[in-house]
Chains A and B, each alone.
Chain A
Amino acid sequence: MSAPGTDFREGYVEADGFRVRYMEAGQGAPLVHLHGAGGLRLTPAHDLLARRFRVVAFEMPGFGLSAENTKTRSMPELASTMARAAQALALDTFNLMGTSFGGKTALWLAAQAPERVSALILEAPAAIRPEGTEPPSGTPEEMARRLYAHPERQPALPAVDPAVRAKTQALVKRLRGPGRDADLEERLRALPTPTLVLFGTLDSVIPPSMGRIYKDLIPGCHLVFVYDAGHAIGAERPEAFVEVVGDFVERHEAFVISRAETVIHP
């Protein structure tokens, strides 16, 4: 098996004065992905999604290889930059997936431009957090223990350049906002977008019980637990993750109707 993301090609697009890097693969309905606080890291889930959709995974300004971002002041601002980045790729409407920190960006984007987002997927979103929740940090091993339920089954995380870490942490701290964001939550009550929230049953970054708050707030929200996964669901249970995400993107709330075939012998 090749490394995750081998089929993805790199591109750049201009938005709000930022040069935004993205990775793209696949054809079909567009699926835009916004990464977590650790930056863009392609997983086996991206590969599986790219078999069904045109996947565009952005690196948000200030993360990873991009220049330090001292300009963006708030999460709503970051969200509108990412909406413009999608526009620059001629994506008028698209499905939007946000992971952890990027889950909050995605929620803001959908709240600002609901007409552009066909369906919203939130992987272990960090928009609602208990007091004192901190994103994973430390050595790659320490990070892995926070991110994964079974770190021993995952490839080792790469060491992070201290300069990248410093600029990213400052940005995350500035943008992530409070654990309960009254302004955002008020908007969520009126969010018309079909929304799927996923939590791993063994998430040790954000308690999976936060999922029920999204379900409570967002009118068209579905909550799904992915058994035996930690915070990085797409890395740990890619098939289970992509099956339900793909089904939701294609069928929205009708995804509750099973299409599984149980005939054993015709």
Chain B
Amino acid sequence: MKVSFFETARYRAPQALPSEWPVPSGAYDPETGARAYRDMIARLEYVEELGFDWVSVSEHHYSPRILTPAPIVSASFIAAHLKKIKIALLGPIVPQSNPVRVAEEIAMLDTLAQGRLVVGLLRGTTNEYLTYDLNPAEARERTDEGMELILRAWAEPQPFGWQGRHFQYRQVSIWPRPLQQPHPPTYALGTSRESCEFAARNRLGCGVSYGSFESVGRATRYYREQCARYGWTPTPEQIVYRANMLLAETDDEAEAQFRQLPNQRPFTMRPGVTDALNKLDSRNVAGQARAPIVGGALPTTFVGGPDTVVEQVRRCRDEVGAGVLDLSLHPPGSSDLDPLMRALDLFGAKVLPRIRDV
């Protein structure tokens, strides 16, 4: 099992913040932000030293919960400070990006980072569409088209034009191309039938997140079936599972902490917006409809002391087939760093060495 550390740049607000998303920009404290990014690098140096395989970053907007709105910027900065660890860009939200720009930036960053880049492309979570006025009804189509265009921009040796439904270019011919050829290891992120099929058709990896083993296992099973239909078999490393882990010295301690977790995200949208978004967005796991996650807290899949967690990781490998775990060791948005660092120490000492062979 390979292990990835999901870095969210912990912003430790000096005073209580409004709880509504978007969080007013005026409540941001520049010095605190600067410190969050300094601490981020110090933490990641430690993560690298502990032997994590990847550090991952994501794209989220308009709140301090995950302070990485521009994931390429975060990934570049991290890549410049760390030497060995792979940088997993999970990833640009494709439907609200310029796909050619994404292809260029990823190619450039892969080259700058000497081929240490891993890429995840995704549709994005529902609330993010409000950031740049993206119509949720168009998000799926824009994602599929944008991802195809990104892959073609990486691979096509001649300048080409693109007559899409949502994107149009007369000439595309990117420089540099990625250092890793034909492109960095790339995952289509999501449990949907569409995402699994896209990944299978284009020989990409599949990234799933947060659901139960049973639920994400259905998606990865569907993905593997689709790969077989296209005549190939993904490696374990081509399935990545992002999850929350609550690790403590003992099971009891972990359970006690688990009961304390909030059941709401720290920053939620107005109910009228949430309701309307839920109606517009459609989500599925391998074709089976599921509700969009808009306001609720994300589930914590791994809970326990080291022995229990190792056993859970083993089960995850069997039931989900994941070869890479992308872990959040403390709920994103929490500004209390001590429990995170304790969990990291414990993970490095008592879990990481034992799940290598899983």
Contact bitstring B164-187, A, C-beta under 8 A = 1, else 0: 110110110000000000000000
Interface residues on B, range: 10 to 19
Prevailing SS type, chain A contact patch: mixed
Kindly specify which of B80-88, B117-125, B154-162, B278-286 makes contact with the partner chain.
B154-162
A156 contacts the other chain (CB 8 A): no
A211 contacts the other chain (CB 8 A): yes
B163 contacts the other chain (CB 8 A): yes
In the bound complex, residues from chain A placing their C-beta under 8 Å from that of B163 are 198, 224-227, 237, 240-241, 243-244
Interface residues of A in 99-154 (CB under 8 A from B): none
A2 contacts the other chain (CB 8 A): no
B152 contacts the other chain (CB 8 A): yes
A40–B252 Cα distance when bound, in Å, is 77
Contact at B158–A211, with CB atoms within 8 Å? yes
Contact at A227–B165, with CB atoms within 8 Å? yes
A223 contacts the other chain (CB 8 A): yes
Interface residues of A in 203-259 (CB under 8 A from B): 211-212, 215-216, 222-228, 237, 240-241, 243-244, 255-258
In the bound complex, residues from chain B placing their C-beta under 8 Å from that of A256 are 170-171
B148 contacts the other chain (CB 8 A): yes
In the bound complex, residues from chain A placing their C-beta under 8 Å from that of B148 are 201, 227
Contact at A240–B164, with CB atoms within 8 Å? yes
Closest approach, in angstroms, between the C-beta of B56 and any C-beta of chain A? Answer: 29
Contact at A216–B158, with CB atoms within 8 Å? yes
Nearest-neighbor residue (CB-CB) of A199 within chain B: B160
Contact at A225–B157, with CB atoms within 8 Å? no
Closest approach, in angstroms, between the C-beta of B80 and any C-beta of chain A? Answer: 35
B145 contacts the other chain (CB 8 A): yes
Task: Report if A225-B159 is in contact (Cβ < 8 Å); known contacts: A255-B170, A256-B171, A258-B170.
Answer: no
A201–B163 Cα distance when bound, in Å, is 10
Contact at A211–B145, with CB atoms within 8 Å? no
Contact among A212, A237, A244 with B158 in the assembled complex (CB-CB below 8 Å): A212
Query: Size of chain A's interface in residues, with CB distance under 8 A?
Result: 23
Contact bitstring A255-266, B, C-beta under 8 A = 1, else 0: 111101000000
Contact among B145, B157, B161 with A222 in the assembled complex (CB-CB below 8 Å): B161
A226–B159 Cα distance when bound, in Å, is 14
Contact bitstring A48-77, B, C-beta under 8 A = 1, else 0: 000000000000000000000000000000
A198–B160 Cα distance when bound, in Å, is 10
A216–B158 Cα distance when bound, in Å, is 8
A258–B157 Cα distance when bound, in Å, is 23
A211–B156 Cα distance when bound, in Å, is 10
In the bound complex, residues from chain A placing their C-beta under 8 Å from that of B162 are 224-225, 227
Closest approach, in angstroms, between the C-beta of B103 and any C-beta of chain A? Answer: 14
Closest approach, in angstroms, between the C-beta of A96 and any C-beta of chain B? Answer: 19
Contact at A212–B170, with CB atoms within 8 Å? no
Nearest-neighbor residue (CB-CB) of A201 within chain B: B148
In the bound complex, residues from chain B placing their C-beta under 8 Å from that of A227 are 145, 148-149, 162-165, 167
Nearest-neighbor residue (CB-CB) of A226 within chain B: B163
Contact at B156–A212, with CB atoms within 8 Å? yes
In the bound complex, residues from chain A placing their C-beta under 8 Å from that of B168 are 260
Closest approach, in angstroms, between the C-beta of A204 and any C-beta of chain B? Answer: 13
Contact at B170–A211, with CB atoms within 8 Å? no
Interface residues of B (CB under 8 A from A): 145, 148-149, 152, 156-165, 167-168, 170-171
Interface residues of A (CB under 8 A from B): 198, 201, 211-212, 215-216, 222-228, 237, 240-241, 243-244, 255-258, 260
Given A215-B160, A227-B145, A228-B164, 12 additional A-B pairs, CB 8 A: A201-B148, A212-B158, A222-B161, A223-B160, A224-B162, A226-B163, A227-B162, A240-B164, A243-B163, A244-B163, A258-B170, A260-B168
